């Protein structure tokens, strides 16, 4: 099947992937699924997935068992983080959750919605409000998109961030109305300036009292509003309903899901977007069925998808820690990610992060490799088996070739050139003395992190 997206048969693209002689299920495809549906595989994930096959692995990712102990531990840590009063502690909390979660797809979707409904603690400087929004995104991540939009429209952090608290009957504030249509639901070209003004009127009187959503009926414009082909005495919930009834809405979300989970560029042609948009329409705009279809499709597992995205800094960090069975100082890690362009809870603007090639420039490329080596050498970094040498020994990967292949399986999405692999093997050969093995492995992982292939996912 052609990797030219304009020539790709949409029926084939959206059919479920079935392993065959030309496209067999493999450790590489299992790792691809774990990278995109989460933050990368552990060695145990790959072992189980390779035996289970794609359907069972997808079931495991989409419907993991409940984990009350983990949820209690992150809730306790969240409360301590909120009580500390510093927004700068929020990213470390979320990295802790991402690294340890038994439900990586849920965290990946929460990250998607965080970039979609971008809100920054630089303006909303109350950690409790930002944590509440994060939990709101997680609670609705797989659910009905209309419920999520209604909830985020009432969210205190969003109300502050887009100045909705100053949206009054006499002088409507248009910020939220504009972003609701442009960035959240429809996209540019699917509304007018008149629509913005009228939608803003529908949201008048939505405000905060004691950091909680409140409706001020005195400040609400009760007059007739007309936008997007509908007329009535609309309030904010009515506005959401009318906006999401537009044909552009499911196409807009489908296109963003494809870009986030499948490939950064080129933009998917309309013929490939429409089947996923129809999946959203057919399921009352529920997100879970669309994501499951996407992650199980031929499109997802074909050459047009594998290795066709640039790792975000968060994916780089969490994927590295999970792959190597490591823990580290997550406050420092979060600071490092901010330097690489992705400060969790601190998106650059209401558009969120551009992603894709924007993650990479001459500065961040060097910064990524430096981040990796700093993490490996940090005194706070700990490994499950005492060190990288112990981790690889437990996996039976002690010979130089096996060592390099084990690391490449977990850390790199596409094959590296033969000469690069040879150079990596050379870094390990003959370095078996006490302590020397760990130093050699640190050198190999650092060298891997400098490769162009390492930047892809």
pLDDT in tens, 213-245: 999 999 999 999 999 999 999 999 999 999 999
Question: Over the stretch 145-160, which tens digit does the pLDDT of each residue have?
Answer: 999 999 999 999 999 9
Give the DSSP H or E segment for 12: helix 10-14
Pair 240, 247: CB distance under 8 Å: no
Neighbour-count burial for 148-161, b at 16+ CB within 10 Å, e otherwise: bbbbbbbbbbbbbb
pTM: 0.97
Domain layout of the chain by residue ranges: 5-64+247-301, 313-455
Q: How far apart are CA 270 and CA 153, in angstroms?
A: 29
Helices of type H across 85-182: 90-100, 104-116, 127-140, 145-154, 156-161, 175-179
* Helix or strand run (H / E) with residue 295: helix 287-295
Sole residue written with tokens 């949206």: 167
Q: Tell me how far apart the alpha carbons of residues 174 and 201 are, in angstroms, rounded to a whole number.
A: 8
What's the pLDDT score for residue 64?
95
pLDDT in tens, 58-102: 999 999 999 999 999 999 999 999 999 999 999 999 999 999 999
Nearest to 13 by CA among 355, 297, 213: 297
* β-strands 382-383, 225-227 pairing: unpaired
Q: How far apart are CA 442 and CA 211, in angstroms?
A: 48
**What's the count of helices (H) and strands (E) in the chain, helices before strands?**
24, 6
**pLDDT tier at 34 (50, 70, 90 boundaries)?**
very high
């Amino acid at each position: 099947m052609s990797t030219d997206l304009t020539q790709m048969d949409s029926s084939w693209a959206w059919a479920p992937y079935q392993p065959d002689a030309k496209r067999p299920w493999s450790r590489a495809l299992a790792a691809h699924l774990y990278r995109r549906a989460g933050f990368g595989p552990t060695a145990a994930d790959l072992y189980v997935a390779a035996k289970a096959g794609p359907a069972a692995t997808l079931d495991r990712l989409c419907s993991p068992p409940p984990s009350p102990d983990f949820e209690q531990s992150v809730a306790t840590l969240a409360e301590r983080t909120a009580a500390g009063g510093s927004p700068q502690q929020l990213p470390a909390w979320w990295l802790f959750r991402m690294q340890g979660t038994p439900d990586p797809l849920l965290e990946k979707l929460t990250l998607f919605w965080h970039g979609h409904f971008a809100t920054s603690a630089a303006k909303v400087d109350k950690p409790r409000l930002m944590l509440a929004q994060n939990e709101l995104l997680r609670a609705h991540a797989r659910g009905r998109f209309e419920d999520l939009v209604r909830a985020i429209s009432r969210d205190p952090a969003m109300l502050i961030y887009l100045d909705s608290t100053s949206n009054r009957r006499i002088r409507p504030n248009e910020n939220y109305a504009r972003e609701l249509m442009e960035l959240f639901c429809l996209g540019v070209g699917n509304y007018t300036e008149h629509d913005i003004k009228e939608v803003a009127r529908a949201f008048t009187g939505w405000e905060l009292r004691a950091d909680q959503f409140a409706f001020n009926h005195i400040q609400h414009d009760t007059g007739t509003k007309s936008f997007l082909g509908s007329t009535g005495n609309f309030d904010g919930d009515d506005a959401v309903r009318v906006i999401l009834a537009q044909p552009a809405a499911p196409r807009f979300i489908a296109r963003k899901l494809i870009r986030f989970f499948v490939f950064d560029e080129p933009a998917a042609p309309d013929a490939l977007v429409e089947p996923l948009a129809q999946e959203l329409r057919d399921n009352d705009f529920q997100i879970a069925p669309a994501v499951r279809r996407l992650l199980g499709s031929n499109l997802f597992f074909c050459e047009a998808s594998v290795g066709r995205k640039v790792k975000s800094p968060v994916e780089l960090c969490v994927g590295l820690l999970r792959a190597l069975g490591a823990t580290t100082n997550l406050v420092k890690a979060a600071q490092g990610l901010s330097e690489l362009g992705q400060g969790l809870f601190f998106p650059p603007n209401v558009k969120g992060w551009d992603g894709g090639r924007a993650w990479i420039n001459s500065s961040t490329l060097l910064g990524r490799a430096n981040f990796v080596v700093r993490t490996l050498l940090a005194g706070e970094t700990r490994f499950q088996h005492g060190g990288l040498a112990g981790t690889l020994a437990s996996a039976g990967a002690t010979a130089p070739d096996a060592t390099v292949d084990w690391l490449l399986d977990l850390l790199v999405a596409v094959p590296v050139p033969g000469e690069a692999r040879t150079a990596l093997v050379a870094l390990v050969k003959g370095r078996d003395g006490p302590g020397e093995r760990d130093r050699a492995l640190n050198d190999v992982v650092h060298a891997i992190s400098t490769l162009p292939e390492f930047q892809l996912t």
